[in-house]
Structure 1
Amino acid sequence: MELLKIDKITKTVSGTIEITGSKSETNRLLVLQQFYPNLKIENTSNSDDAILMQKALVNTTSEVNIGHAGTAMRFLTSYFSVKENSEVILTGSHRMKNRPVKILVDALTSLGADIQYVEKEGYPPLKIKGKKLTKGVVEIEGNVSSQYISSLLLVAPTLQNGLKLKFKGEITSVPYIKMTLALLAELGVELSWDDDTILIQPKPTIEDKTVVVESDWSSASYYYSLVALSPNSEVKLSSYKQHSLQGDSVLANIYKNLGVETTFENNSIILKNTGHLNPSKLMDLNLIGAPDIAQTIVVTCFGLGMECYLTGLHTLKIKETDRLVALKTEIEKLGGKVEITNETLQLASSKIINENISIATYDDHRMAMAFAPLATRVSIAIEEANVVSKSYPTFWEDFKKVTS
């Protein structure tokens, strides 16, 4: 699918969608399942990233190519480091070879891991020789991607002495770290987090365990946007918990200010357009714990003619693309005005949206899905629309289900 043209949506958005398991939870549990084969996982994500992770974990060749999958790169770097008597080249796409991994590699080598850079210092591909890691103390900057930290925490129970992880400076992306710790605790791993130190005790085996993965809140964000932009709309999504492990569950609170009411009912959420907007709440919104929903929020505000000022976005520059630059470029093509720094984005209010604009997606699934709801306002086109398969392969079918 090269270019997907979406005519302006004229009907009221409504319907029921089942969304598969969280990519974030699935990828963590897939790694843990390698250490604990008696762990059973239900409602796994059907995303490209999760499928790539599954294949990589059972790989028997000397090279593992994970394409654009950043989570897989980070988690597998630690996994292959502790997989004794293995040797692998871990590589990815051209973009992946330009996404830094030095902080994680330094942390692992301080624990005794054998990792070498194959091409450029600080970046994939990596040559990793798996071995037993006997050291159990590591220091890491607190403001780095939470995936580096989660990567270390996932292998921590397999280490001979467990792991004492000490943070330097302010800790960001706390919800994702908490998700990893909650999943470890669910498997019976003893752990604690006091101030700047996380302690993980060794856990060689676990009892038989089944974990049901909650549906993905990031995927729900696009329906929040659709409902916000479509008067009188109502969409039901499953399966969601009121007390979620996922940082993106803050959507329910944020979108109250964008006119969407969330009701929890029998493991589902019902999203209803109320029309009650509260612009002041979007003028200094810190997304440090949920940066993946920034694109969706910005596009929703643009569609509603509202301004917003988002902070805590520094990790967006090293995602599938530089998401801050990509947002600025595409919204300005549509007639909006955006100012960005390394960690903030300011959108000016605009009453004009240019029609029939073709949105570039930059190999980034979230660019495609975040801009799709603007079809409630104008006809729009999405380039390389198949990119959605990275996290949500059935997105276009589901989108059509509630909009036509």
Structure 2
Amino acid sequence: MKLHLSAPSNQLLRNNIQITGSKSESNRSLLLQALYPNISIDNLSNSDDAEVMQKGLKIGNGVVDIHHAGTAMRFLTGFFASQEGKQVTLTGSKRMTERPVKVLVEALRHLGAEISYGKNEGYPPILIKGKKLEKSQVSLPANISSQYISSLLLIAPSLENGLELELVGKITSVPYIKMTLALLSQIGVENSFEGNTIKVSPKAKVGPVNLVVESDWSSASYYYSIVALSEVGSEICLSAYKDNSLQGDSVLQELYTEFGVETRFEGNTLVLRKVGAPKGQTVQFDLGNAPDIAQTIAVTCFGLGMGCHLTGLHTLKIKETDRLEALHTELSKLGADISVTDKDLTLGLSGTMKAEVAIDTYNDHRMAMAFAPLAMKIPLYVNDAEVVSKSYPDFWKDLEKLTFLVDEV
């Protein structure tokens, strides 16, 4: 599906948008529910990834195809490895077979798991024979994707002796690790995170307990971008959010003050308001704890004619696509002065933007949604726009609520 996007006729925006639960929280909660059936979940994400996770958890034997869902690949690897009697082949899309899982597989093997590779060493598909994992100590490099770490932490309380996890080096994506540990605490699992050591105590039974999933802050980022690119006085209300969020992307509240966007809470409603011009011409952000919002911020800066230097982005190269190279290619098409390395991005001050450019999305939901706010400034096309269903199926409908013109080509 190819879409043509153009700006609302009135750029003083006013509307309310309901966003479903966080994909990250939903998939963690679903795995815990599979381990402890007394858990109930409210405000579950309606994303493809959450649906894939639900289906995967119900399979006992055979092939589990998680398509593009990286979170499901990592989480289900740990889950099935710890489930005695289950035997599955865990696979996914072509891109998924190019995304490494070796670090996680090696850690699980150290704990006693029986996992082999179906094709290429270190990559899916992987063959898993579930068994009782009797060891309780393992180490991992600290600078890897937090999903590897969370995969181990989520199954930890179901292990007979719990788990002691040593992280070697400088830790990145700390908020996602803390999100996992906070959910464990909510279901009554004792845990600690001191220095580079995480300990999770065993727990045989849980519940009954109800987990309420907060709405997705990554999805909120696109509205921060829209408000930043709109007229002063624009106001968009998003629900349902918590002031003390578990999600690392909630740092948006602080970062977007640089672009003239003010955040306030009214109960569980997040109110975004454009209060003034950007504070400067260039921003520098370390996004090591919130890499998923890098695309949104880079596009916001380009739309405002600002420059930016974004660091801490080393995990973006193994996402749905190599997001750094994808940003370089697509922003260059629009006229940006941009350079990237394997871990950072630099955008120069820009003048004009090329209109009616077709943005390629690379099977990456965030490419589609991060570039959409630019329609506030120039009409553009988005190729393969249906990719948003991975995390936010209602995105294009919600843009239409803001009176964006969204036409299928």
TM-score grouping bracket, smaller chain normalisation = over 0.9
Match of 2:250 in 1: 249
Structure 1 residue 276, shift from structure 2 partner: 3.1
Aligned residues of 2:312 and 2:344 also touching (Cα < 8 A): yes
Q: Given residue 143 of structure 2, which amino acid in structure 1 is its aligned partner?
A: N
- State how 1:72-83 maps to structure 2 within 5 Å: 72-83=72-83
| Runs of 4+ deviating beyond 2 Å | 7-10
- State how 1:192-203 maps to structure 2 within 5 Å: 192-203=192-203
- State how 1:290-369 maps to structure 2 within 5 Å: 290-369=290-369
Structure 1 residue 9, shift from structure 2 partner: 3.2
Cα distance in 2 between the residues matched to 1:259 and 1:43: 31
- State how 1:135-284 maps to structure 2 within 5 Å: 135-231=135-231, 232-279=233-280, 283-284=283-284
Q: Secondary structure at the match of 2:155?
A: helix
Q: Secondary structure at the match of 1:300?
A: helix
Structure 2 residues without counterparts, runs of 5 or longer = 405-409
Cα distance in 1 between the residues matched to 2:74 and 2:202: 21
Structure 1 residue 61, shift from structure 2 partner: 4.4
Aligned residues of 2:117 and 2:123 also touching (Cα < 8 A): yes
Match of 2:407 in 1: none
Aligned residues of 1:162 and 1:202 also touching (Cα < 8 A): yes
Q: Secondary structure at the match of 1:275?
A: coil
Cα distance in 2 between the residues matched to 1:247 and 1:147: 13
Cα distance in 1 between the residues matched to 2:138 and 2:108: 8
Aligned residues of 1:96 and 1:124 also touching (Cα < 8 A): yes
Match of 1:11 in 2: 10
Match of 1:64 in 2: 64
Aligned residues of 1:22 and 1:45 also touching (Cα < 8 A): yes
Match of 2:32 in 1: 32
Cα distance in 2 between the residues matched to 1:8 and 1:396: 13
Cα distance in 2 between the residues matched to 1:10 and 1:337: 29
Q: Secondary structure at the match of 1:317?
A: helix
Q: Given residue 346 of structure 2, which amino acid in structure 1 is its aligned partner?
A: Q
Match of 1:22 in 2: 22
Provide Cα deviations, 1:160-191, integer angstroms capped at 9, x if missing partner: 11000001111110000000000001110011
Cα distance in 2 between the residues matched to 1:217 and 1:103: 28
Provide Cα deviations, 1:85-141, integer angstroms capped at 9, x if missing partner: 010000000000000000000000000000000000000000000000000000100
Cα distance in 2 between the residues matched to 1:245 and 1:113: 30
Cα distance in 2 between the residues matched to 1:14 and 1:397: 16
Cα distance in 2 between the residues matched to 1:286 and 1:279: 17
Structure 1 residues without counterparts, runs of 5 or longer = none
Q: Given residue 133 of structure 1, which amino acid in structure 2 is its aligned partner?
A: L
Q: TM-score, normalised by structure 2?
A: 0.97
Structure 1 residue 207, shift from structure 2 partner: 2.2
Structure 1 residue 403, shift from structure 2 partner: 2.9
Q: Given residue 401 of structure 2, which amino acid in structure 1 is its aligned partner?
A: K
